[in-house]
Amino acid sequence: ADGRLAWQVYARPAPADDGTPRVAIVLWRLGFSRAATEAAIQQLPGVVTLAFEPYAPGLDGWIAKARAAGHEVLIQVPMEPPDYPRSDPGPHTLLTSLPAADNVKRLEWLLGRGAGYVGVTNLMGARFTSSEAALRPVLAVLKERGLMYLDAQVTRASVATRVAEEIGLPRAFTNRILDTEASRPAIDARLYQLERVAKSAGSAVGIGFPYPVTIERLAAWTGTLRGKAIRLVPLSAVVNRQRPT
C-alpha cells in the first residue's frame, strides 16, 4: 500500500556499482530433498540465491531458514513443457490451453504458498514461455505484485525477457545452466564461461541444481572471485542489467 516493491524489500543488500563485473548464482529445485536443501542453505555463501519448488512441504519454514542465512529466495512457477502431460510439473501448472483468468488463478495459488521471496522463475515451461499470449497476463500479475522474474531460458524460443521489458517488469535471465553434465570438469568449465560473459557484458547469471558436486564446486569457486575482479551478487543486483543477445 505504501508503494514499496517486494523484489526490493526482500532483496539482500548489495554493494554499490563500481563497474566490477557481476555474477549472480541461483540454485533451483529446492525444498523436497532435506539433505540437498540444508546443504544449499548452509554450505553456500548467503549471496547465492535459492529457488524453491512451490509444492515443497514446509515451504514457509525453508524460506525463513534460507533468508536467516542471508539468501535471497525465488519461487518456481510450474509452466507447461513441450511434452505435457507426459512431463507434468504439478496440478497448478500454467498451460497455454487455459484462459488467462485460469492461469492467473493458478499463479495466485502458487504465489500464496510462501512469503518473503523477491520473485519467481519458471519450473520447466519451454512451451509456455514461448507463447506471448499465454505469458503476458502472467507477467503482468508479477509486475502488479512488485516481484521480479528470472527467465530460466529453458528454450531459445522464450519471449519472457522481451515481454518483461515491454511491460516494465524487473527481470533477469540465465546465461548458463551449470550442471547439465554433473561432473567437476563440466561445472568448472561452465563457471569459467560465466566469468567471461560477466567480463564482456558486465553481468551474468548462472543456475544449477542442488547436486552435491554442484554445491562443492560453487563453494570452491566463490572463494576465487576476489582475485579475478568479479563480484558475486544476489540476483536482485543484476535486475535489468543484462542485454539480450
199-222 tens-digit pLDDT: 999 999 999 999 999 999 999 999
User: Over the stretch 219-233, which tens digit does the pLDDT of each residue have?
Assistant: 999 999 988 999 999
Percent over 70 (pLDDT), the chain: 100
Copy the grid coordinates of residue 17: 556499482
How far is residue 128's CA from residue 57's CA, in Å, rounded to a whole number?
A: 26
Degrees (nearest 5) of the Cα angle 78, 76, 21? Answer: 135
Confidence (pLDDT) at 226: 85
Is residue 139 within 8 Å of residue 163, measured between CB atoms?
yes
pLDDT at 15: 87
Nearest to 207 by CA among 179, 177, 237, 166: 177
Residues 6+ apart with CB under 8 A from 101: none
Mean pLDDT of 125-133: 98
My answer on whether omega of the bond before 244 falls inside 30° of 0, hence cis, is: no
Q: From residue 133, give the alpha-carbon distance in Å to each of 93, 170, 213.
A: 16, 19, 39
**Degrees to nearest 5, angle at CA 77 with 81 and 167:** 95
Alpha helices for the chain (secondary structure H)? 6-9, 34-43, 59-68, 100-111, 132-144, 160-167, 184-201, 212-222
Share of the chain above pLDDT 90, in %: 95
Confidence class of residue 244 from pLDDT cuts 50, 70 and 90? confident
Other beta carbons within 10 Å of 42? 11
Q: How confident is the model at residue 3 (pLDDT cuts 50, 70, 90)?
A: confident
- The predicted-structure confidence for 153-182, as pLDDT tens digits, reads as follows 999 999 999 999 999 999 999 999 999 999
CB atoms within 10 A of CB 73: 25
CA distances from 92 to 4, 76, 110 (A): 28, 12, 7
Tell how many helices (H) and how many strands (E) occur in the chain. Answer: 8, 9
Q: How far is CA 166 from CA 203, 212, 222, 223, in A?
A: 21, 39, 34, 37
123: pLDDT strictly greater than 70? yes
Q: How confident is the model at residue 245 (pLDDT cuts 50, 70, 90)?
A: low
Of the two residues 17 and 207, the one the predictor is more confident about is 207
Rounded (5°) CA angle 212-217-222: 130
Alpha helices (runs of H) in 13-94, residue ranges in sequence order:
34-43, 59-68
Q: Which residues contact 217 (CB under 8 A, 6 or more apart)?
A: 184, 187, 188, 191
